[in-house]
């Protein structure tokens, strides 16, 4: 028998690199005349979608983009950002989609840290990119020939050009998340992970060629949890949406036949509370993350004909990594019991590896629903690391596992349920907030001697920051003054919901005992997270 090494000229027939760009190639081939993207009065077919992506890719290359260069986008859920998820990597670049809710300082940090050579910025958010070194291209979001973004596309070619991904481990995107040190960290995604997590979304949420997906979840957030690629993979329809407007959302659900959307509990509640809310004649599937759906929210969604799927993940995990898979018989249970079961984070996606819950000594906790441990993950849908931050990467990947910083129990049925956080991070309405960044902003007030920020329960957002402030002796500054000061220095989602002037509890060595403050805020709550 001949050894494989005896035939070095034989090309491999058993492998091709996993690349989510292949999803658009396939859907354009199968459904060229099918509507792929809807945005207000604009409707692009899959043929047009593919052509626009190719124009973006070739225009970037003609403008000097080299393999591995970063291309930033600061934009809401509009066609340009959706096209970037294919066009930037098709040009050999790495997409950096930036949260437009950030302040200019954080946006500039990301642009500088990522080394972005180009930044495409929507007309509403141009101030976030002012003064940066990258070449700027304005997006008017009009679709008209005089739109600078459309002019840039016109410089590219719509012709299909051969592209071979050399290694599926190559970066496709960098997604920045709040760090415990206050500065954003860039989670690097590779093509393989994006491909597999997109297929995971297809499987777990039941996407089909008939699916109509409404973009209520920001595309800048984990690349829209990879739904940018997932909906395209099945040849579904993307409905773009500049902002979360409950009235417009109900219009689109009815007029466009929406079948899927995603959102934090606060988005779900805003829809149900709107005067246009009504029971749907067909089932609409929604994934809920950021905080578990309450029994009341679960019941209201169900009564409206909306089927909630609870998922859990992180920026470092391409979005959702775990899902609370329904079991036979759950649908027959009372709504409160269903909600309690479905409020758990559950089990790993089909494309992921089983998560662990480990005690401080590194051993797996007993599956009794009582013993707390940290949730650890690893596998194909874990980032490759933090961009240009080897120390933080090594710490987060200790012992070959991603350390989430979330504390959970494992129930006898194997399902995981979060109870607390090890990291000093607050997740409010799906947005990560580093408490140290809020503390640093408040500490700039001349009357503040010291400050500690912890999470506090919030009915709408799940949890919000609350600031406990110790003032300089004899100062007459009040809580409203501190709130106003924070409002000037922090983006809306990071501002504390309350300020309490107090004497901070400390250890014998002078360290602030933030746990005492958190226990006070969450007294009587089963979990210490919202």
What is this structure's pTM?
0.84
Specify the fold of 266-423.
Rossmann fold (3.40.50)
Q: What value does the mean pLDDT take over residues 522-526?
A: 77
How far is residue 382 from each of residues 38, 229, 265, 370, 434, measured CA to CA in Å?
31, 17, 25, 27, 21
Label residue 1 by pLDDT band (50, 70, 90).
very low
pLDDT of residue 2: 45
Show Cβ contacts of residue 361 under 8 Å, excluding neighbours closer than 6 positions: none
Q: What average pLDDT does the chain have? A: 90
Look at residue 6 and tell me whether its pLDDT is greater than 70. Answer: no
CB environment 294-332: b (16+ within 10 A), e (fewer)? bbebbbbbbebebbbbbbbbbbbbbbbbbbbbeeeeeee
Per-domain boundaries in the chain: 21-157+169-243, 266-423, 430-521
pLDDT at 524 over 80: no
Task: Please state which CATH number belongs to domain 430-521.
Answer: 3.30.300.30
pLDDT at residue 385, rounded to an integer: 97
Confidence of residue 340 (pLDDT cuts 50, 70, 90): confident
| Res. 476: pLDDT tops 60 | yes
Residue 93 main-chain phi, psi, to 5 deg: -90, 180
Helix, strand, coil abundance in the chain, percent, nearest 5: 35, 25, 40
Q: Do domains 266-423 and 430-521 have the same CATH topology?
A: no
For 377-420, what is each residue's pLDDT tens digit? Answer: 999 999 999 999 999 999 999 999 999 988 889 999 999 988 77
Domain 21-157+169-243's class?
A: alpha beta
């Amino acid at each position: 028998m001949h050894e494989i090494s005896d035939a070095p000229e034989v090309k491999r027939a058993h492998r091709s690199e996993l690349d989510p760009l292949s999803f658009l190639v396939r859907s354009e081939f199968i459904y060229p005349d099918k509507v792929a993207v809807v945005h207000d009065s604009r409707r692009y077919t899959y043929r047009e979608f593919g052509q626009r992506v190719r124009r973006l890719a070739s225009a970037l290359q003609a403008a000097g983009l080299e393999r591995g260069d970063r291309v930033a986008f600061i934009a809401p859920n509009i066609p340009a950002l959706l096209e970037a998820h294919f066009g930037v990597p098709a040009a050999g670049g790495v997409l950096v989609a930036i949260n437009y809710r950030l302040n200019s300082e954080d946006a500039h940090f990301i642009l500088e840290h990522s080394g972005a050579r180009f930044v495409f910025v929507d007309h509403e958010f141009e101030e976030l990119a002012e003064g940066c070194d990258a070449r700027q291209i304005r997006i008017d979001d009009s679709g008209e020939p005089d739109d600078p973004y459309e002019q840039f596309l016109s410089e590219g070619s719509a012709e299909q050009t051969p592209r071979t991904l050399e290694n599926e481990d190559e970066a496709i995107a960098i997604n920045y998340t709040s760090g415990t040190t206050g500065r954003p960290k860039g989670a690097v995604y590779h093509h393989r992970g994006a491909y597999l997590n997109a297929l995971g979304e297809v499987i777990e949420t039941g996407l089909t060629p008939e699916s109509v997906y409404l973009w209520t979840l920001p595309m800048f957030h984990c690349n829209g949890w990879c739904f940018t690629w997932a909906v395209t993979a099945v040849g579904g329809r993307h409905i773009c949406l500049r902002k979360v407007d409950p009235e417009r959302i109900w219009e689109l659900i009815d007029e466009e036949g929406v079948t899927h959307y995603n959102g934090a509990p606060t988005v779900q509640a805003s829809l149900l509370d709107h005067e246009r809310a009504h029971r749907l004649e067909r089932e609409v599937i929604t994934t809920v993350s950021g905080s578990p759906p309450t029994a009341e929210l679960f019941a209201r969604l169900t009564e409206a004909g909306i089927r909630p799927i609870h998922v859990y993940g992180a920026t470092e995990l391409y979005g959702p990594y775990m899902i609370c898979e329904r079991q036979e018989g759950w649908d027959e249970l009372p709504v409160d019991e269903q909600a309690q079961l479905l409020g758990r984070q559950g089990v790993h996606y089909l494309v992921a590896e089983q998560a662990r819950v480990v005690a401080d000594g590194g051993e797996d906790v007993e599956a009794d629903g009582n013993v707390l441990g940290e949730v650890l993950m690893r596998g194909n849908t874990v980032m490759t690391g933090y961009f240009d931050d080897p120390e933080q990467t090594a710490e987060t990947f200790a012992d070959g596992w991603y350390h989430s910083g979330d504390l959970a129990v494992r129930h006898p049925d194997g399902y995981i349920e979060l109870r607390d956080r090890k990291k000093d991070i607050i997740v409010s309405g799906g947005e990560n907030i580093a408490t140290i960044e809020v503390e640093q902003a408040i500490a700039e007030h001349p009357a503040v001697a010291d400050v500690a920020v912890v999470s506090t329960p919030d009915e709408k957002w799940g949890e919000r920051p609350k600031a406990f402030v110790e003032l300089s002796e004899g100062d007459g500054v009040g809580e409203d003054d501190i709130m106003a000061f924070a409002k000037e220095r922090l983006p809306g989602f990071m501002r504390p919901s309350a300020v309490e002037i107090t004497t901070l509890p400390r250890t014998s060595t002078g360290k602030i005992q933030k746990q005492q403050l958190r226990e006070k805020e969450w007294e009587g709550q089963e979990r210490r997270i919202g």
